[in-house]
Structure 1
Amino acid sequence: MKLPKLVRYTVAAFAAWGLASVAQAQEQNETVIFAGSVISDADSEPSGPAVILVTDGKITGIYPVDSSDARVLSTDSGVVGRTVIDLSDKTVLPGLIDLHTHLSGDPSGEFWRQATTPPEYSTLIAAKNARITALAGFTTIRDLGSRTDQVTQSLRQATEQGLVPGPRVVTAARTISIVGGHGDVSGFTRQVNDVLTSGFTCTGPIQCAEKVRQASQYGADLIKITATGGVLSQQGRGLEAHFTNPEMVAIVETATSLGLNVAAHAHGARGIEAAARAGVQTIEHGTYIDEDAAEAMKASGTYLVPTLMAFEGIKKGLGKGVYTPIVEEKIRVVASYADNLVPRALELGVPIAFGTDAGVFPHGENAGEFALLVKGGLSNREALASATTVAADVLGLGNEIGQLKPGYSADIIAVDGDPLQDVTVLEDVDFVMVRGRVIE
């Protein structure tokens, strides 16, 4: 049954978002959405035509179109303070979640930009990328390392208040690393390195615990560490463990005492294993995962966030003068291992959650990760779950986001087709609502 076109939502320009959108939100606190079909969560089948009621940013009802509640909402479409949105030819589903982004940066092999980019510019880049990411259907993101202090903490507040269009932001703020390791500044003269250092490097358990407390003081929602060497840092130090075991244990125990989880960038198998044994919640990348590393992850309940789009993105720059010779060599080494990362993880029984490392590749292309996950062996349904219910549980927000149910945040997207049959339809999102606010 196809509903009549009741209202066509007017697209708002980015420049007009600001105060006009806030004022509109104050006047209109109820929205009725006519959906062609609803997928309430990744375990459910499409419902058929339905009506979704949103009140003050929360879902307050989902009704079959032929129900009495739906008929009442259809006939009372002119109620003052109510907006009606017609998505009767779309599939409506929960907003997507990306557990690994870097909103304050865009792709670049020019490492010297760290010495030339002021924090104000990084803030503007973050706002731009927040909008792009939301329009791509990602209504919640976890940001795992910003370019400057307080950028993503400020963005978190601005998107929550509706001052900037964008997703819900969960941020680690600055990354904690060893001195001179991946995540620290390198590639410059000593004097320049000293000036650019983030202040979040540490040596020894006591100092590392202090950095965790400092990150908490500065407003981090979780802790991000670089547990091993990395691909894009300007040094050839290998990809195995950087922190000592006592340092990683101190980081995780201190974070736990503060109610914070730890995400660990980790490539090498022994670094993955050590981070998992220390109790980190997620392993980011996990390139060289093996049986011992997987057993440690399963014992600790640690998720793998594969970031396949990042590997695809950096491979595109090979041989084009984008990266320095040191970085090019590391990319070539990891590329072949990344191609079979998901099949290895599935064979080893490691749980997978959705994350892309957007910022290493262009923001807004996050949904390309779905096809790569399916190619690696996940079903369409499992891939969708990884970016909805599974990711929501990783964030500790499983009772707020990741599903369309009464009482949940109105984080809603709409697409043509059925993502449970072809998850790539999520690469072209037609409608996005975050916390009850329509993003353009």
Structure 2
Amino acid sequence: MRHFALAAGLACAIAAPASAETVTIHAGRLIADPGRPVIGPATITVIDGRITAIAEGLAPPAAGTRLIDLSSKTVLPGLIDTHVHLSGDPDDDYRNQAVDSDEWATLVGARNARATVRAGFTTVRDLGSGPLVGFALRRATAEGAIPGPRILSSGPAISTIGGHGDVSGFRPEVLAVLGSGNTCTGAEECAARVREFSRAGADVIKITATGGVLSQQARGLGQHFTDAEMKAIVDTAHGLGLKVAAHAHSARGIEAAARAGVDSIEHGTFADGEAIRVMKTNGATLVPTLMAFTGIRERLGKGIYTPTVEAKVRQTLGEVGKAARAARAAGVPVVFGTDAAVFEHGRNAEELALLVEHAGMSPAEAITSATTAAAHLLGLDSEIGRIAPGYSADIIAVSGDPLRDVRTLEKVEFVMVRGRTIE
């Protein structure tokens, strides 16, 4: 059987323990990397959860191996959503914070993790959960205790007192009980908070650089942290080997966060030319979360949001996709992320069509944003985002051709994560 080159070293097989399970996958069409040509019928070998070889044609499986027949399907890498909130749901009342336990949030997260992975998302970055909820979900999916994607978790977002991400809308004595120790004031305290979150097990640091839409605070969408506070957060995080994701809506808040050196701007709603220029200069990536706007539009005027929130929703809906299109034109990387929980988990793939419609991406570019580009943002370039020897066996399959119609990926028919088939 002739092996072919998808990238340097692709034809090299990888040794595996003698006791490891071997799985043979027959692919009708293989999009091993959306930035490279599609391959005809191919055979993928998976040993102990890792891809070890790819060969042209449908090779008969060796004795004792398990065959997965996807010969009538298009096979591609598992998708990556870089902005989700697994333990949240879109129609939650903010007052539930005073009623629901972290144990309940973890169970909700387990349900949503299953919905997410069944939709074809084999890796997610959870950017805001209870202090230990995201970490518990991360361990449960890694060990196969529950079906779900690979999870990178920030724990709670680091916020200013009274700003987006802080608990608000309750009596003072209730606020004192519900606070999760995620706020800080001043550069020194903010640096300490990063160290505490690192100690707790955060994979990434999330900050709320500006006001937010769905919080009860009515302080607008402008910059919340000072420049010095954001710089202290970023420098401390980078010193600990952690990337920083900044929730940011206003142009000047985006500019300040990018100048401080954050790795990604989440939402970026009102980014103007100067904000985008600073993002490009400082190497920031934009995660536009276009599905978040779908979620809030679907709920506007239905009594789900308070008047405070509805006023902020109306400020944003006319801006959908403008920043993403402008960022792409300026050469700023635009990476897939949805803000799942603002809409129903499992609808994540609808973001792909929005990137095509609003950001001007081709289907291949949109898929790249959810595979290789997303893997790069997460620092997992050599682990996920491609189907190649040495990579984790994170594999999905669909009928049809997603390179022609990206909505094909809204109906994923097969999912494998770390070599485990998801039912």
Normalised to the residue count of structure 2, the TM-score between the two structures is: 0.94
Does residue 187 (structure 1) correspond to residue 169 (structure 2)? The answer is yes
1:91 is matched with which residue? 74
Moved over 6 A (4+): none
Match runs of 1:100-115 below 5 Å: 100-115=83-98
Aligned-partner residue type, residue 339 of structure 2: D
2:42 is matched with which residue? 50
- Cα deviation for residue 155 of structure 1 reads 1.2
- Cα deviation for residue 345 of structure 1 reads 2.4
Aligned-partner residue type, residue 79 of structure 2: L
Distance in 2 between residues matched to 1:220 and 1:346, nearest whole Å: 30
* Helix, strand or coil at the partner of 1:316: helix
- Cα deviation for residue 347 of structure 1 reads 3.1
Deviations for 1:335-380, whole angstroms, at most 9, x for unmatched residues? 1012533223233332100000001100000000000000020111
Work out which of the residue numbers 39, 44, 51 in structure 2 matches 1:59.
51
Distance in 2 between residues matched to 1:28 and 1:127, nearest whole Å: 28
Distance in 2 between residues matched to 1:219 and 1:108, nearest whole Å: 29
Aligned-partner residue type, residue 409 of structure 1: S
Work out which of the residue numbers 261, 264, 282 in structure 2 matches 1:282.
264
Distance in 1 between residues matched to 2:103 and 2:270, nearest whole Å: 37
Aligned-partner residue type, residue 271 of structure 1: G
* Helix, strand or coil at the partner of 2:375: helix
Match runs of 1:25-174 below 5 Å: 29-65=21-57, 70-71=59-60, 73=61, 76=62, 79-80=63-64, 82-146=65-129, 148-174=130-156
Number of residue pairs the alignment of both structures matches:
405
> Would the aligned equivalents of 2:79 and 2:370 in 1 still touch at CA under 8 Å?
yes
2:241 is matched with which residue? 259
% same residue: 58
> Would the aligned equivalents of 2:208 and 2:224 in 1 still touch at CA under 8 Å?
yes
Aligned-partner residue type, residue 438 of structure 1: T
Work out which of the residue numbers 380, 389, 392 in structure 1 matches 2:375.
392
- Cα deviation for residue 417 of structure 1 reads 1.3
* Helix, strand or coil at the partner of 1:59: strand
Aligned-partner residue type, residue 139 of structure 1: T
- Cα deviation for residue 109 of structure 1 reads 5.0
Deviations for 1:27-61, whole angstroms, at most 9, x for unmatched residues? 87111111111111011222111111100000011
Distance in 2 between residues matched to 1:83 and 1:171, nearest whole Å: 33
Work out which of the residue numbers 338, 350, 370 in structure 1 matches 2:320.
338
Unaligned stretches of 5+ in structure 1? 1-25
Aligned-partner residue type, residue 350 of structure 1: V
1:200 is matched with which residue? 182
- Cα deviation for residue 229 of structure 1 reads 0.2
> Would the aligned equivalents of 1:294 and 1:349 in 2 still touch at CA under 8 Å?
no
Work out which of the residue numbers 344, 352, 371 in structure 2 matches 1:362.
344
Distance in 2 between residues matched to 1:349 and 1:399, nearest whole Å: 24
> Would the aligned equivalents of 1:109 and 1:324 in 2 still touch at CA under 8 Å?
no
Deviations for 1:149-198, whole angstroms, at most 9, x for unmatched residues? 21111111111111111100011111100001000000111111111111
Aligned-partner residue type, residue 254 of structure 1: T
> Would the aligned equivalents of 1:28 and 1:83 in 2 still touch at CA under 8 Å?
no
Aligned-partner residue type, residue 39 of structure 1: I
Work out which of the residue numbers 266, 288, 294 in structure 2 matches 1:306.
288
Distance in 2 between residues matched to 1:360 and 1:404, nearest whole Å: 31
Distance in 1 between residues matched to 2:145 and 2:93, nearest whole Å: 32
2:194 is matched with which residue? 212
Aligned-partner residue type, residue 87 of structure 2: S
Work out which of the residue numbers 390, 397, 404 in structure 2 matches 1:407.
390
Distance in 2 between residues matched to 1:349 and 1:54, nearest whole Å: 37
Distance in 1 between residues matched to 2:323 and 2:355, nearest whole Å: 10
> Would the aligned equivalents of 2:158 and 2:193 in 1 still touch at CA under 8 Å?
yes
> Would the aligned equivalents of 2:85 and 2:126 in 1 still touch at CA under 8 Å?
yes
- Cα deviation for residue 387 of structure 1 reads 0.3
Change (3 A) 1:319 1:109: farther
